[in-house]
Structure 1
Amino acid sequence: MDHKLVLAASLGNCVHVAGAIHFLELAADEGYETLFLGPAVGVDALLRQVRQLRPAMVAVGYRLTPDNVEPLLDALIAGDRQLEQHPRWVFGGTRPVAERAARRGFFEKVFYGTEEMDETIAFLRGADPASGGTAPADDLLARLAQKSPYPLLRHHFGLPDFAATEAGIGEIARAGVLDVISLGPDQNTQQYFFHPEQRDPAMDGAGGVPVRTPQDFCRLKAASRQGNAPLMRCYSGTADVFQFAELLHRTIRNAWCAVPLCWYNELDGRGARPLEVSVREAQALMAWHGRRGIPVEANEPHHWGLRDAHDVISVVMAYVAAYNAKRAGVRDYISQYMFNVPGSMGFAMDLAKALAMRELVESLADDSFRPLRQVRAGLPFLSGDLDVAKGQLAASTFSSMALGPHIIHVVGYSEAEHAAGPAVVIESCKIVRGVVRSVLYGAADPAADGLVQQRRARLLEEARFLLAFIRRLYGGVSADPLADPAVLADCIRRGILDAPHILKNEKFRGLLETRVVAGSCLAWDSRERRPLTEAQRLDRLAAAGNLEGAGALPARSPQSAR
């Protein structure tokens, strides 16, 4: 028997061949030799080829009247009994026909026409649990290997009621459409898990699920151990971050850590930590996970974009976040690319920004640092009209597929109107799966567009200018300015790194204004009504006195210097 040969044919008088051809294309990608026998192949002719070629697997399809498939199945099963060597038989058809085939118990795998590409790939790799294969991996890198080239799907989930969240996780797992449940706890959990006396009961369930004990986390993880057994991860704490990281590692086997470099502190009000302290703790938290081989996501650049920072800042902070993760010893780094921020950006220019981010981040790649791409739609982009939002989710996914993502962070289409329950999570994942199925093979490449490439090149030029400026300005006081918490905090206070929505006061005194022009978010001079280059923007900061003394930071503790 040829253990790598797969035959396929449309059976009897059926001339529909698309499903068989697609199955063979996927099999060829997995290293099988393939042979298509054609449409309308009779059972006797098929069995003659099986006897002669002795394939490892035979896939047959039939998409006509269910009653008409019955005699064909009878003849095929009887003929197989006469073979000296029996191949693995696979059937594909419309649901009514496939149900007739499944009842026979003869076929190792029956495809109903609703399966996704990743399910077919898993079967061909022998990793389909329904066919006796290996179970889905409970480890990010192993699961990526199982699904490649199909990206993993991740979705946020956490309802204000614990029991509803637990039940919803089980429902999502049984649907088999999601690979990673990203648990969203309420703020009382993130900030006061280890200090219950400080919780505000009025805020229970605000923003996510109330999780009050380690056993609660264990129950939520246990609820996911059905269906396709999705991985689970959780947002980082905004206080007691190392205790919280240990808790998540022990209870839910946190698939990866997500931590912003410059946020969840006094800057955004999601914590009380001083800015420099939180940057230092973020670096240490990256290092904590790096030592344990746990992947890290620095969900940094989109925090700037969500606050209307211009594109250059987002590109620079994508690089700075990845640079800090590498310095902290992280090996597997998840770089998140949130599209549609700000929400009024044009798709072409948004893609150009993401491509510039990718180029800078992946310039850091080597044997010790492996960036993975995670894409997602931006929350401000989705309409409160749920039908419109479904179309927007699909459109954003199509655009982001040009980045070649390893992970898609699916955003529930309902998020602009209400938090996603299990039904919305499942439906949103199916929408995204439909896009992936359509574009993973053979789609045109929007990244090749001339205007996209022109904008990408301009962003890289401007981003490198700003990075060089920071290194030069602080080079006399820091051995490594881009990984120095005091330098990063000082850059934000002075407005070198800035966003319009950062509250300006005696501590944060940036001057940045931005405007979306022709689809790009640009630094803007409202008096002269024109965009600013980085050189012009920084010159204005200097003229306003905001850069005075930047090369002479205040005395710092040894721990704050890098």
Structure 2
Amino acid sequence: MSKTRIIGAAIGDDVHVGGVVRFLRTAEQLGYEVRSLGPAVPVERLLAEVAAWDPEIVAVGYRLTPESGRAVLDHLAQAAQEQGQAGRRWVLGATDPVAEHGRALGFFEAVFGGSADWQEVVDYLRGAPAQKAGGIPPQRLVDRILWKRPFPLLRHHFGQPTVAATVEGVRRISEAGVLDVVSLGTDQNAQEHFFRPDEMDPREHGAGGVPVRTPDDLRALYAATRTGNYPLMRCYAGTRDQLAWAEMLHETINNAWAAVPLFWYSELDGRSQRPLAESIPEVQAVFRWHAERGIPVESNESHHWSLRDAPDAVAVAAAYIAAYNARRAGVRDYIQQLMWNNPPLTSPAMDLAKMLAKLELVESLAGPDFRVWRECRTGLTSMPAGFDRAKGHLAASTIMQMAVKPDIVHIVGHSEYHHAATAEDVIEGCHVVRGAIELALQGLPDMARDEAVQERKAELVREARLLLDAVASLAPAGVDDPLTHAPTLAAAVRIGLLDAPHLMGNPAARGEVEVRFDDGACRPYDRRAGRTLGEAERIARVLAGELVQGR
């Protein structure tokens, strides 16, 4: 099958050919056959080349003054009409004032001004721009990931203190066409007590998210996404009655994928009072429920350990345990979330090493029946105060995340230090992150090959495997699969193999490990000896019942 042809040129007296070249290079990556005529191409020569090569699309650029630009475009449109070339698909890239005139001519199929987002160009070249052609982007997660490449999907939390305000905000975000996944944030009353409304505390309505109280609330929120670029919608699992939540989200918002941690949303973090011995089997059942319906699953597990300053090796091992449980439950499409800058004192180099270690272990499980998709996000607790500083941090963190080629980028609101993100905050954050992604896609150095990064990654893989073996060793005789055995996993937390400083005083955990960040990595620390510990030594002390940090 022959490729669609595109010819491009900067026309008239314009020598600024960079935009045209970038357009053609992107088109070539997407499977087009392209040809560039270069800078300052007279209209007559352009039309002669078009007639000779017979391309389906002609891309022209003009970035000089509006007055001369209008004259050149008028000449082009008239000459093309006279020579029978007006019926081709003409595309214009120009400064905003020239682009405005180009649209008014009615000659161009697509016009991209200087303020246009590069994603709009990619959408056009894919042939399915939702706003322009009336098409709807894919409405299943994996299909949308593949459709949007090389750009990752963008996801952002959103939830206002009332359902009405959230519905209106979702509509505005959808119409802006900048977000692929609206990640619905519900309040804690909904997460824990939706199916037990008599247990809700009225004083907590709207705390932490939108106070959904009925399935119709969810349906109204989903209906608000049916415009613009038709973003997917998803919502975290409830912290109790998780199977009932799964069924409701599937029926009301076509939940794009499930997100539920293996150990958390339990007595471990206080989001519910479920004991670990009960919550882990319930999560495994939720995994199976989604697997049976072909719905992707994310276990937002490992970063919860890092949010509580767990040693890096614990976070890496937790990532593997969660993915392993999802695979054993029959999940075919698994989203590995990687929260960067977490804990906040982690250095960028050691952060990258930790993410690479997680990916090496989790992706070792991949095969024809278990696909791993990468999702990155900026650290929840790492955002600095001040809108401008937070936006700078968000962009810099995104650049680091692009080193692992994510399929999804979960944007953390730059306003969260001050207030829950409004629709305008979400749209602005998308533009910040998309700018960083566009720059990264032009070509980053391979930061993963840095010697220090590789050394730390290898160290973490070794240490995590030691920890996984130690967890498995706790299983009673006759347990065939220790890493899916809920009593064994709960015991690993109880005795401190899986531990974090912030769990101090938690009845389900040991909470005795202490950590230091001397080299930008989060390592166990023995305060009495004044030194960090290797994971082998920490494990040995835990199994012997000793205090790890020597208080």
Shorter-chain TM-score range: over 0.9
2:34 maps to 34
Where in structure 2 are the equivalents of 1:242-257 lying within 5 Å? 242-257=243-258
Q: Which amino acid aligns with 1:282?
A: V
1:48 maps to 48
1:296 maps to 297
Where in structure 2 are the equivalents of 1:94-493 lying within 5 Å? 94-132=95-133, 134-474=135-475, 476-493=477-494
Where in structure 2 are the equivalents of 1:518-557 lying within 5 Å? 518-544=519-545
* Contact 2:474–2:491, Cα closer than 8 Å, also in 1: no
Distance 2:2 2:84 in 1: 14
Write the deviation string for residues 300-351 of structure 1: whole angstroms up to 9, x where unpaired: 0000000000000010011111101000111110000000111011000011
1:78 maps to 78
* Contact 1:307–1:501, Cα closer than 8 Å, also in 2: yes
Structure 2 SS opposite 1:206: coil
* Contact 1:54–1:87, Cα closer than 8 Å, also in 2: no
Which of 130-139 and 285-294 deviates more? 130-139
Write the deviation string for residues 440-479 of structure 1: whole angstroms up to 9, x where unpaired: 1212121111111111111111111111222234263421
Structure 2 SS opposite 1:181: strand
TM-score under structure 2 length normalisation: 0.96
State the shift of 1:81 in Å: 2.5
1:555 maps to none
Write the deviation string for residues 416-440 of structure 1: whole angstroms up to 9, x where unpaired: 2221111111111111001001011
* Contact 1:379–1:415, Cα closer than 8 Å, also in 2: no
State the shift of 1:396 in Å: 0.8
Distance 2:506 2:93 in 1: 65
Structure 1 SS opposite 2:56: strand
* Contact 1:51–1:83, Cα closer than 8 Å, also in 2: no
Distance 1:274 1:242 in 2: 17
* Contact 1:494–1:510, Cα closer than 8 Å, also in 2: no
* Contact 1:376–1:409, Cα closer than 8 Å, also in 2: yes
Q: Percent identity?
A: 51
* Contact 1:153–1:178, Cα closer than 8 Å, also in 2: yes
TM-aligned CA distance change 1:527 to 1:3, over 3 Å: closer
Which of 533-542 and 225-234 deviates more? 533-542
Number of aligned pairs? Answer: 547
Structure 2 SS opposite 1:528: coil
Structure 2 SS opposite 1:364: coil
Structure 1 SS opposite 2:220: helix
**How large is the RMSD of aligned CA atoms in angstroms?**
1.7
Distance 1:276 1:136 in 2: 42
1:556 maps to none
Write the deviation string for residues 125-146 of structure 1: whole angstroms up to 9, x where unpaired: 2111344263222211121122
Distance 2:544 2:485 in 1: 25
* Contact 1:9–1:60, Cα closer than 8 Å, also in 2: yes
Q: Which amino acid aligns with 1:21?
A: V
Structure 1 SS opposite 2:502: coil
Q: Which amino acid aligns with 1:518?
A: D
* Contact 1:8–1:20, Cα closer than 8 Å, also in 2: yes
TM-aligned CA distance change 1:195 to 1:366, over 3 Å: same
Structure 1: 5+ residue runs without aligned partners? 548-562
* Contact 2:131–2:229, Cα closer than 8 Å, also in 1: no
Q: Which amino acid aligns with 2:111?
A: V
Write the deviation string for residues 141-195 of structure 1: whole angstroms up to 9, x where unpaired: 1211220110000000001122211111111111111110000011111111122
Structure 1 SS opposite 2:230: coil
TM-score under structure 1 length normalisation: 0.95
1:21 maps to 21
